[in-house]
A and B are shown apart, each in its own frame.
Chain A
Amino acid sequence: DIQLTQSPSTLSASVGDTVTITCRASQSTSTWLAWYQQKPGKPPRLLMYATSNLEGGVPSRFSGRGSGTEYTLTITSLQPDDFATYYCHDYSTHARSTFGQGTKLDIK
């Protein structure tokens, strides 16, 4: 099974900053990788699918890229609403899903 490791586990930043979260896979995957945002007491919210496709309604300050074993989510010009936990999700294996352990983005 593919394992996903996110880094960093915690990230402190300020409003207006640009941050990048990395998701590394234990083996090379296709680009079937998604990113989710989760706030306390809420379910995850889809931000990005197939590595770099923005889900409808998600601000364009979110962007994704990557290939092989390394994928990134970048948030430019951080807004107060962006402080949350972010998860990557690999769905390249047929009918199997694996999630990363999460990156908590908090206010510096």
Chain B
Amino acid sequence: EGQLLDSGGDLVQPGGSLRLSCAASGFTFSNYAMSWIRQAPEKGPEWVSLISGSGYTTYYAESVKGRFTISRDNSKNTLYLLMNSLKVEDTAIYYCAKEQFAANVGDSFDMWGRGTRVTVSS
């Protein structure tokens, strides 16, 4: 059975940086597009970024474009999210999530990490 273990969340000051990681196991990582999705307290999920299985194509929500960078290392079965110029409104639990079907880009998410908490506050 597949698993995603996301990590790297922390308390950071506005303007700071943080890198999240997501270690995947139990499936052929390189076959699947992956996303980061965040959820602020008492809010619905918000899609943040997506990367294709190869890593060649990336997409971002307008709210993070130019500040966040998604990447992956298929040799290590690991997904990353580099977050720069963090704002208070970036405070949320961040989940990595696997797309349901191989080779798709833009799909439902059938596997989620347990989430890692990012708090941006002075």
Contacts and interface: CB of A to CB of B under 8 A. Distances in A.
B47 A43 contact: no
B45 interface: yes
Contacts of A94: 105-106
A98 B47 contact: yes
Most buried by B among A49, A55, A87: A49
A102 B45 CA distance: 9
Given A95-B59, A101-B44, A102-B44, A49 B100 contact: yes
Given A87-B45, A95-B59, A99-B47, A43 B113 contact: yes
Interface string A74-100: 000000000000010101011111111
Nearest to B33: A95
B115 A97 contact: no
Interface string B87-116: 000000001010010000111111011110
Q: What size tier do the contact residues of chain A reach?
A: 20 to 34
B81 interface: no
Most buried by B among A44, A95, A102: A95
A43 to B, nearest CB: 4
B7 interface: no
A43 B95 contact: yes
A11 interface: no
Contacts of A44: 45, 95, 109, 112
Contacts of A45: 112
Contacts of B50: 95, 97
Contact of A89 (B95, B105, B108, B114): B108
Given A50-B108, A102-B43, 4 more contacts: A46-B108, A49-B110, A97-B47, A101-B43
